[in-house]
Amino acid sequence: MKKIILGSLILSSLIFAGDVKIAVAANVSYAIDELKNEFKKLNPEVKVLVTLGSSGKLTAQIKNGAPYQIFMSANMLYPENLYNDGFALTKPVIYAKGSLAILSPSPRNLKNGLNLLTDAKIRKIAVANPKTAPYGVATVEALKNAKLYEQLKKKFVYGESISQTISYAMSATDIGIVAKSSLFSKRMKNFKEGENWVSVDSNLYRPIDQGIIMLKGMEQNDEAHAFYNFLLGEKAREIFTKYGYMLSWESE
């Protein structure tokens, strides 16, 4: 019996060796493949399995027992909540700072920034839902500080994540407010700054501190530790910068 149990344990460890399961905020979906590829060059035996979603929904999954090992959130609130509730092995730290942009699939004169959204020809505006997506919170903050929120809120079409918001901006609405990082995806390569997109004035909102944690149970998981450390290293910083995230960095 002992030999059978020992054999089962060895087999189980072999089956799961090299897998890292990570929960990733939707705005990082455009950078995550390159991050994985660069990590794999250093760790070819490690398989990184990604689940994308809104930070709020991923947090709920973690609290309900989802077997993630690392959580890359779109803000610090959700990782801090998980840490305070005893789900995290590490304290939340910032891995990137996100920013907002206005996106129009059709060329427009974007020099007036957010004020363009008051145009009567713009009937629907895609925005992230502030109840589930941190980029939605930043969007509301920017519009309120620009004194435009009350005037525009009747035009909003809410996406539950930033990826859904981008989808709405491209197909179901006239324009959208999205994560600037999304504009560096292959899908957006033909869109031009000043014609199809423009950055939202960062003085109107707080750039979004995006937090990362390792989850409980990963104390002996070398693969998860290796990927976590990679995400806080210089190569990852280069990749995040390439995808439109701000340069501010925190590694402690």
Task: Give the Cα separation of 29 and 42 in Å (integer).
Answer: 21
Q: Answer whether 2-97+209-242 and 100-204 agree in fold.
A: yes
Element (H, E) at 103: strand 100-103
Which DSSP symbol is given to 76? S
Q: Is 80 exposed, middle or buried (0-12, 13-18, 19+ CB in 10 A)?
A: middle
Mean pLDDT of residues grouped by 10 in the chain (252 residues)?
Answer: 39 53 92 95 94 93 96 95 96 95 94 95 96 90 98 96 91 95 85 94 93 88 94 95 73 38
Retrieve residue 14's tokens: 């072999």
> Domain 100-204: which topology?
D-Maltodextrin-Binding Protein; domain 2 (3.40.190)
For residues 21 and 51, the answer to whether their CB atoms sit within 8 Å is: yes
Strands 125-128 and 100-103: unpaired
The pLDDT value given to residue 248: 54
b/e burial code for range 115-135 (CB count within 10 A of at least 16 → b): ebbeeeebeebbbbbeebbbb
Check: pTM over 0.85? Answer yes or no. no
The pLDDT value given to residue 13: 37
The pLDDT value given to residue 210: 94
Q: Which CATH number fits domain 2-97+209-242: 3.40.190.10, 3.40.50.10680, 3.30.420.40, 3.20.20.70?
A: 3.40.190.10
The pLDDT value given to residue 5: 38
For residues 122 and 248, the answer to whether their CB atoms sit within 8 Å is: no
Q: How far apart, in Å, are the Cα atoms of 7 and each of 3, 17, 221?
A: 6, 15, 20
Retrieve residue 39's tokens: 């990590």
Quick one: which of 34, 22, 24 has its CA closest to 237? 34
Residue spans per domain, the chain: 2-97+209-242, 100-204
The pLDDT value given to residue 247: 63
Retrieve residue 194's tokens: 């000043």
Q: Is 205 exposed, middle or buried (0-12, 13-18, 19+ CB in 10 A)?
A: buried
